[in-house]
Each structure stands twice: as C-alpha cells, then as structure tokens.
C-alpha cells in the first residue's frame, strides 16, 4: 500500500463484541431456499469443541450461554459476556455469522451462457498498476509505526534466491513479554510450562522438519512481533521464514493463553491462534482446510521461500470522514463480472469479507470466503496473532502473502485440490503483488434494519476506510476487486452493498471490479443503473439522497427498482 502513514491516533478501546459465524454458510446465497429463514448457525471463534449441524453458542453471542466446567478458560470454550456493540444501535441481536458468496456457482462453476461482463473495460482497471507498486527503500522508512523484523532488504530479480536477514537485537533472543508484543513460545516466561525433554521428544519424533521451525524460533525471530492494537496506524513486516516459524508454533498449539496476561481484559480482543480447534471432530471441510495447511508446511520445509509479507492496520480519522450528503464527486468507473472469483483478479486490491476478529472461523468449522482464502494462503494466519479486533473505522491490509494450494467447492463442498505455484511478481521489498484488505460488515439479525441511515453510514465508512488509497498515483490508486460483501449469512442486501461499495470506491478515486460470481441477474440490473447514472454524470450526493429516500419509505420495491423509478421520475421534470 506504499508508505505507511506516520500518524498514530489513540482511540478508546471498545469491548464491544461482534459475532463470527461459521455454519451460516450452509444456507447462503439461495433466496428461495426454505432453509434461508432459519436462524444462522453460530460462530465458534474460540470454541474448542465442534458444533453440531444445529446452532451452538458462539464466541460473541449476545446471550450468555450455559457453561460447562471445561468452558472457563479463553482457549477452553469460555464464553464471555457480551457488551453492547454498534449492532445494538440497529436493534440487531444474536450471533454474527461468517460471510459467503453464491454457493451454487462455486460448487458447479460458471455455467455456459450464464456469465456477464459489462461496464468499464476490465483491462483499463487491471492495467492501472500492472507491475508491483513502487515503494520506498526500507532504510528510508523512519517512522516508529513501521516496524521491521528484518534488516533493510531490496529484492533483486537477478538474485531470486537471496533472502532477508532478521534483525538481531543484542545477544540472542530479546524477550518482550508485555502488552505490546506477541507472547512467544520461546520466551523464558513461557517455556518452563513444558520440559525440554517432553517438547523435544514429541516434536522431533512426529514432525521433525516442522519442529526445526519451532526450535529455531529464537534465531528466526530474535524479537517478538509487535501487536497491531486498536486505534493505531502501524504495520509489521517480516520474512516468509519468520511467518513459517510462527505458524509452526500455532500448529503445535504453543502460544500461551492470552488470559494469563496481566492485561486480561484485552485477551478477548484477539483470536486464539492455536490450531487445537481445527483438530477436533467436525465437518469434512475442516480436514480439507488442514490439507491446505499441511501442503503449505510441506512446501516451506522442502524449500523455504525468501520473500517478505506485511500486515498493516489502518484507522480512518474522523476528520477524514466524507460528507456523503454534500459530495459533488462523480460516480467512478465500474466493471461487472460473473465469471471470476476475487482472488483470480490480479493487479488490484482484493476484498476479504472479514469478521471483526480477522480470520473468522478459519481455525474452526468456518469455510467460506475469508476462511478459504486464509487456508490457501496460510501466511495470512499470522494476522490472527498480531491483529486486535477491528473498530468501525478500521481495516487491515495483508500484503505479499503467497498462495500454496488450489481448491474446489465452497462451504460444505470445499475441498483441497492440489498444490498451487504462485508466480505473482514481487515488489522492491520482495513481497508478492497481492494486496488484500480485511473489511468487516454488520450482521443484521433483522435484515430490515440495514436500511437505517446509521447502518448505511457505518457501512459507507467501513468501505471507504478499506478503499481509501494511502498515497497518490498508480502505485496507490490501483483498482479494487470486491463482490457481495456481507450478503450471505450476514443478511446484507446485495443491491444495497453494491451501491455502498461503488460510492466508497468513487470517493476514494479508484475504479471497481464487482465480481458477483454466478449472479447474472444482479450484474444486469446493476449495469442498467450504472450506465444511466454515469451518462447523467450523477454525483455521490445524488445517490446518497436516493438511499436516504429509500430508507424513509415502506420498501415495497427493491433498491435497484426504486432508484430506476426515481431516475425516470426526475427525467420527466
């Protein structure tokens, strides 16, 4: 994303809890499916036991579930009480399920004659920045909020095997067991939980190559990664080898229980990074996700990649909030397609339909858009270690993560489909030209509340925060690829979310590729509105006014029908 902003804004910590859900995926994307009226199945962000096919209490359920004695610890099924969240402002109660897209299209593929591509030229958007974005040299990045765990490194295509070196702080491992750094399994404050003999015997006999990643953690990561806390604009950059060592520790469930921290009130602001829930009994897709992760470890232990990845947290300051009602900005370019998945569109910022707790149910039973992406690109799982829960005006960028596995299917039909060789070019830092932004939508237990202007404004701010470029020029303002954000088990209206994202991208000054995989009807109607409004040079303020008027009436028409009706009425004046 170019240079990291140097400003750091403090924001009161929120202990609001937004639900993750994993099993809502079983009924997504089928408006006429009788199952669509069922209550979404609950998430299990920190659950260690697996849900049945019926709903079970989730990590952030608004109702306190009954607990067994084994549910007292954070990593042992403890279900904390729920504090009010922004969802409450819209009279939404209950769990927030995991997002997903059109299941039929993912299961069966794009059918002949059922695809559509309309709007601005696809190539005109993807060619804005066809090469990895230019970034400053690492050694000139001098602000305290850009944290490097490696010595200044410059990728040279003529020396593809040269790898970055870790920063060595003092002699040996620099232990930092505090609220601002990741609690490491190699820390003297933690390792005494196990005898060296027990650890060596178990790890060296079972998985010796992965053990090496664990046992050399001090050398690979001589300092603990800093946490990306709420309200901060900062990033952490590390080598792929450092990421592999951290993930090996997660695989063996070696990270300490965050509830042991003195700052225990913050413990529930983070995901459980250990893999124990993934090993528990559950639906078949858990094994398929595990196959993807094991394929990753096979690859990196055979030949360790020598690239770099960055995790960047961004908070939009309130002074930068757009005035949607008064904006004279024209609506931007838009390409609509049903034939591509988001991860297939290169040279763009790709949307992750995220949970507020990044990763959602990837280490449990969840198996929809975010969980699948993190499974085929396991380096993204490092974000669970360092990223605190997201606020309404925050997003998280994941830059340079490599794809290792192919897949087929979606949700309950998801399957590992073999190895994947990622040939994406690298930027000057050695990062793959892969930029992902994690953006969490509101879960609407009562779908009608999403037309409340407070809810619309929240989603506009979240989308704008995620789409806003952090600099000027093609190295920052390249296109965005998104889709039906928050429109699965989150109960979002596809038409409303399409308009919201188009508005946000327009104000951000970036063209949009809308990948509504398999939903040809949505694409055709959206294009009709797009063509008319672009021809009329319509502004953000005009479209925002349509949303406001729609929120005030009984909504007997769909949003697209209403907008078309208003356009025709205005043309007669």
Average pLDDT over residues 189-195: 55
Say which residue the tokens 């250990």 belong to: 274
CA distance 332 to 505: 7
| Cα dihedral sign, 468-470-471-475 | negative
- Determine contact, residues 256/185, Cβ cutoff 8 Å: yes
Lowest mean pLDDT: which of 9-18, 343-352, 480-489? Answer: 9-18
> What was the pLDDT predicted at 283?
92
pLDDT tens-digit series, residues 241-276: 999 999 999 999 999 865 454 555 677 899 999 999
Q: Cα–chain-centroid distance for residue 431?
A: 18
**Is it the case that residue 383 has pLDDT exceeding 90?**
yes
Burial (CB < 10 A; 0-12, 13-18, 19+), residue 493, is buried
Structure tokens at 464: 């704008």
Residue 101 · residue 25 · CB < 8 Å: no
- When mean pLDDT is compared across 101-105, 194-198, 301-305, 327-331, the lowest value belongs to 194-198
Q: What is the average pLDDT across 82-92?
A: 41
Predicted confidence at residue 42, as pLDDT, reads 40
Compute the mean pLDDT over every residue in the chain, rounded to the nearest whole number: 82
The radius of gyration of the chain's CA atoms, rounded to the nearest angstrom, is 23
DSSP 41-96: PP--SS-SSPP-SS----TT-SS-----GGGSSTTTT--PPPBP-HHHHTT--S--
* CB proximity list for 27: less than 8 A, separation 6 or greater: 33, 35, 36, 38, 40, 489
Query: How is residue 347 annotated by DSSP?
Result: S
Residues with Cβ within 8 Å of 451's Cβ and at least 6 positions away in sequence, in order, are: 493, 496, 550, 551, 555
Establish whether 101 is a catalytic residue: no
Task: Among 206-215, 261-270, 492-501, name the most confident range.
Answer: 492-501
Averaged over 313-322, what is the pLDDT?
A: 98
More confident of the two residues 514 and 57: 514
Determine which one of 370, 388, 440, 459 is catalytic: 370
Binding-site positions: 355, 369, 410
The CA distance from 508 to 332, in Å, is 9
Average confidence (pLDDT) over 545-567: 94
Say which of 352, 379, 402, 427 is annotated catalytic: 352
Quick check: is 302 catalytic? Answer: no
Calculate mean pLDDT across residues 163-170: 83
Q: Kindly state the average pLDDT of the residues 336-345.
A: 96
DSSP state of 432: B
pLDDT of 462 above 60: yes
What's the whole-number mean pLDDT along residues 54-66?
Answer: 38
Q: What is the mean pLDDT of residues 278-296?
A: 91
Three-state DSSP state, 466: helix
> Would you state the pLDDT for residue 20?
40
Could you give the percent of the chain with pLDDT greater than 90? 64
- Position 404 pLDDT exceeds 60: yes
Annotated active-site residue 370? The verdict is yes
- What's the whole-model pTM score? 0.78
Supply 374's token pair. Answer: 């993190």
Catalytic pick among 371, 440, 459, 477: 371
Contact 220, 166 (CB under 8 A): yes
Per-residue pLDDT, 397: 99
| Total length of the chain | 573
- C-beta of residue 35 within 8 angstroms of C-beta of residue 267: no
Give the best-scoring range by mean pLDDT among 22-26, 35-39, 560-564, 566-570: 560-564
pLDDT of residue 114 exceeding 90, the answer is: no
Where are the chain's structural domains? 23-571
State the binding site for substrate: 355, 369, 410
**Which is more confident, 93 or 480?**
480
Q: How many CB atoms are located within 10 Å of the residue 304 CB?
A: 16
**Which token pair is 204?**
């060296």
Specify the pLDDT at position 96.
55
Closest CA to 25 of 310, 551, 412: 412
For the chain, count helices (H), then strands (E): 17, 12
Integer Cα distance of 194 and 196 in angstroms: 6
């Amino acid at each position: 994303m170019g240079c990291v902003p140097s400003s750091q804004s403090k924001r009161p910590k929120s202990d609001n809890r937004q639900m993750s859900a994993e099993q809502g995926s079983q009924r997504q994307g089928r408006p006429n499916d009788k199952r669509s009226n069922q209550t979404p199945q609950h998430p299990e962000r920190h659950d260690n036991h697996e849900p049945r096919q019926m709903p079970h209490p989730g990590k952030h359920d608004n109702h306190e579930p009954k607990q067994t004695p084994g549910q007292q610890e954070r990593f042992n099924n403890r279900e904390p009480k729920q504090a009010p969240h922004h969802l409450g402002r819209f009279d939404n109660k209950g769990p927030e399920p995991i997002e997903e897209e059109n299941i039929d299209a993912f299961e069966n593929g794009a059918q002949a004659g059922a695809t559509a591509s309309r709007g601005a030229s696809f190539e005109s958007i993807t060619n804005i920045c066809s090469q990895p974005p230019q970034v400053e040299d690492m050694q000139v990045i001098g602000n305290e909020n850009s944290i490097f765990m490696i010595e200044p490194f410059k990728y040279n295509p003529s020396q593809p095997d040269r790898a970055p070196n870790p920063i060595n702080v003092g002699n040996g491992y620099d232990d930092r067991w505090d609220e601002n750094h990741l609690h490491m399994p190699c820390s003297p404050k933690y390792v005494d939980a196990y005898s060296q003999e027990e650890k060596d015997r178990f790890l060296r006999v079972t998985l010796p190559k992965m053990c090496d990643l664990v046992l050399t953690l001090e050398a690979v990561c001589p300092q603990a990664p800093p946490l990306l806390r709420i309200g901060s604009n900062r990033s952490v950059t590390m080598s792929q080898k450092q990421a592999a060592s951290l993930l090996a520790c997660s695989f063996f469930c070696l990270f300490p229980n965050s509830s042991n921290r003195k700052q225990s009130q913050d413990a529930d602001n983070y995901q459980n990074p250990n893999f124990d829930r993934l090993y528990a009994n559950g639906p078949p897709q858990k094994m398929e996700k595990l196959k993807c992760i094991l394929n990753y470890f096979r690859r990196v232990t055979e030949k360790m990649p020598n690239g770099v990845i960055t995790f960047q947290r961004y908070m939009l300051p309130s002074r930068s909030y757009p005035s949607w009602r008064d904006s004279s900005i024209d609506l931007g370019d838009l390409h609509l397609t049903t034939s591509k998945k988001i991860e297939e569109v290169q040279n763009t910022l790709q949307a992750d339909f995220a949970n507020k707790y990044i990763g959602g149910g990837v280490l449990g039973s969840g198996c929809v858009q975010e969980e699948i992406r993190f499974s085929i690109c396991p380096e993204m799982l490092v974000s669970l270690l360092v990223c605190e829960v997201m606020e309404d005006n925050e997003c998280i960028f994941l830059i340079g993560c490599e794809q290792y596995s192919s897949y087929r299917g979606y949700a309950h039909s998801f399957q590992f489909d073999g190895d994947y060789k990622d040939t994406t070019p690298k930027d000057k830092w050695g990062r793959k030209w892969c930029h992902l932004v994690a953006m969490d939508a509101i879960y609407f237990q009562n779908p009608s509340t999403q037309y409340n202007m407070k809810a619309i404004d929240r989603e506009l701010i979240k989308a704008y925060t995620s789409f806003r470029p952090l600099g000027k020029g093609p190295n920052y303002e390249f296109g965005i690829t998104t889709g039906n954000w928050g429109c699965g088990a989150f109960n979002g209206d596809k038409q409303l979310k399409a308009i919201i994202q188009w508005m946000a991208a327009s104000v951000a000054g970036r063209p949009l590729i809308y990948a509504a995989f398999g939903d040809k009807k949505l694409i055709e109607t959206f294009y009709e509105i797009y063509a008319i409004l672009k021809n009329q040079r319509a502004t953000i303020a005009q479209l925002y006014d349509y949303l406001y008027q729609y929120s005030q009436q009984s909504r007997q028409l769909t949003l697209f029908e209403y907008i078309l009706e208003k356009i025709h009425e205005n043309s007669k004046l």
